[in-house]
Amino acid sequence: MKKQIEKMVKQPMIIVFIIILIFFTPLAIYSPGENRNRGVVTAIGIDKQDQEYEISLLTFIPTANQSYKEQTSIISGKGGTLAEALYKAQINMGRKVGLAHAKTTVVSKDLLQEDVTNHIDYLSRVASLPENTVFVCSSSSAKKLLEASQGLEQKIGLKLEQLIGFNANIIYVTDTSLEAFYKGYYKRVKSSIIGYLKLKELNGDSQSGGSSKGGEKEQNTANNLIEGGSQSNDIALNDIINEGEAVLLKDGRMVDILSIDELNGINLLNKKALNQIITVNNVELDGEKFDLSYKIKDKKVLINTKFENDIPVFSAQLILGLELVEVKGNHETIVINTEFSKISKDVENALDNQIKKIFTDALKVMRENKTDVLGINEIFFNSNRNSYKKFIEKIEDVDNFIDFVNFKLSLIIQPD
């Protein structure tokens, strides 16, 4: 035994191991738990008023309790720079700020009036704000949206990132994270889309913030009633209104708010975008007029780009599998008609016109704002590089390219 111990002691690796143990064991025992020093931030809001930033942190503080509810609170700090504001928030929290779990980043609409990258640069580069954080714009202040979301979570367990995540999956059909924003920002035309949520105060004044495209707001209101919380007086006033809108950004600035129809138009060429509803009005079926709603169940997109007489031509063929989901009107006789699953020529023409109109409207918005969220420039660059480069030299501004593109959309509509 003694010999074995002597042999072991002679092994330098064992001595190294023992030294490491001696050094680290007391450190591990005496060092306090990480959550005593660090606050876990699940969402961050950024506001700017009169050259002063306010950072609001939706913070989760792990505490022992008998319920399974997360104890969250909103802590904010103000400062001339974001670093200073974050520092003040940290002081108010009494802990270091850990942004690694910040799943949502909310910016106020006012902040998007100038290049937002100037504001978030510090957070993403220095303060370790993760790039997969969902990037959202609030019609009102970011802090108020966080407060409202806190209530939403406490009441029905719906988190802000889940709410905007639903939009991202179903309506935008694109990633709306900070990373996706940067991807758009560093592309040729520097345009991207981020989520948009409105706030409505329960006393009736909607802070719709310039968007007049929304329809029945009350139906989409996520009721927000708070029973507790540090800022309960303010929180009780706000509702989050989700109308599926998105903010269109150009050079990091907000240039427009896109409605669901415009987003659907943009997403027509996105084969992942399914389940949108297309309604055609006053279509004649079996001698009677109906409003018909179809759901896109299946989609194939074939794209071809070329230069014809030095004009860029973008041809897209959409093969759509549509399912009739609603017939508005007196349709008792039609329900039992098995022929109804077929799409008549009239209906097909109406759908063709409607879909092309949706696409044209979306294109109009992109052209007006000199944006390219469809990635038209990249498609031409990849497939017709030399002609594209010559054309850009001729028009001198890549932003104008989309104005010159001749779009040809052809549809093959099939019942699904």
Partner 1 sequence: MKEQCINIRQACVLILMCIFTNKILLLPSLMFEEAKADAFFAVIVLFLLDIVVLPIFIKLKTMYPDKRLFEILSKKISPILTKFIYCVFAVYFMFKCLLVFSITYVYFKQQIYQDEIIWLILISGIPVINHAIMSGVRAFSRTIELLKWAVLIGFVSCLAFSLFTDLSMPFFFVSTSGEFFSSIFNHIFSFGDYIFLFVVIDRIEIKKGQEKQLYISSIIGMLLVGMLFFLFYAKYQVTAFMHNNALADILVFSVQFNAIGRLDIIAMLTIMFITLFQLEIYSYAFCDCVLNIFPKLNKIFSIVVFDIIFGILYYVFIGKYEILVGSSQFWSPWLGLFVNYLFPIVCLIIILLARRKKNEKTD
Binding site for partner 1 (CB under 8 A): 12-13, 16, 19-20, 23-24, 27, 38, 96, 98, 124, 128, 130-132, 175, 177, 179, 182-183, 186-187, 378, 381-382, 385
Q: Give the DSSP H or E segment for 185.
A: helix 178-185
Q: Which is nearer to partner 1, 232 or 382 (CB)?
A: 382
Find the shortest distance in angstroms from Cβ 192 to partner 1. 11
Find the shortest distance in angstroms from Cβ 316 to partner 1. 18
Q: Which is nearer to partner 1, 132 or 275 (CB)?
A: 132
Q: Which is nearer to partner 1, 290 or 388 (CB)?
A: 388
Q: Which is nearer to partner 1, 141 or 174 (CB)?
A: 174
Q: Which is nearer to partner 1, 193 or 240 (CB)?
A: 193
Find the shortest distance in angstroms from Cβ 34 to partner 1. 10
Find the shortest distance in angstroms from Cβ 313 to partner 1. 22
Find the shortest distance in angstroms from Cβ 132 to partner 1. 5
DSSP string, 262-281: HHHHHGGG-TT----EEEEE
* Distance separating alpha carbons of residues 182 and 188, to the nearest angstrom: 12
Q: Which is nearer to partner 1, 38 or 78 (CB)?
A: 38
- Cβ distance 161 to 169 under 8 Å? no
Find the shortest distance in angstroms from Cβ 13 to partner 1. 6
Q: Which is nearer to partner 1, 358 or 398 (CB)?
A: 398
Residue 85 has φ and ψ, to the nearest 5°, of -60, -40
Identify the CA nearest to 207 among candidates 215, 198, 218.
Answer: 198
DSSP string, 216-245: -GGGGEE----S--TTHHHHTTEEEE----
E strand intervals along 139-260: 191-201, 206-207, 221-222, 238-241, 246-250, 253-258
Q: Which is nearer to partner 1, 124 or 242 (CB)?
A: 124
Find the shortest distance in angstroms from Cβ 125 to partner 1. 8
310-to-175, 375, 387, 404, 405 alpha-carbon distances in Å:
34, 20, 8, 10, 10
* Distance separating alpha carbons of residues 317 and 127, to the nearest angstrom: 46
Find the shortest distance in angstroms from Cβ 381 to partner 1. 7
* Distance separating alpha carbons of residues 243 and 205, to the nearest angstrom: 17
Find the shortest distance in angstroms from Cβ 127 to partner 1. 10
Q: Which is nearer to partner 1, 175 or 348 (CB)?
A: 175
Q: Which is nearer to partner 1, 99 or 351 (CB)?
A: 99
412-to-83, 307, 352, 356, 393 alpha-carbon distances in Å:
54, 24, 9, 12, 36
| Residue 62 structure tokens | 């792990």
* Distance separating alpha carbons of residues 81 and 268, to the nearest angstrom: 41
Find the shortest distance in angstroms from Cβ 173 to partner 1. 12
Q: Give the DSSP H or E segment for 149.
A: helix 142-156
CA angle 306, 311, 315 (to 5 degrees): 40
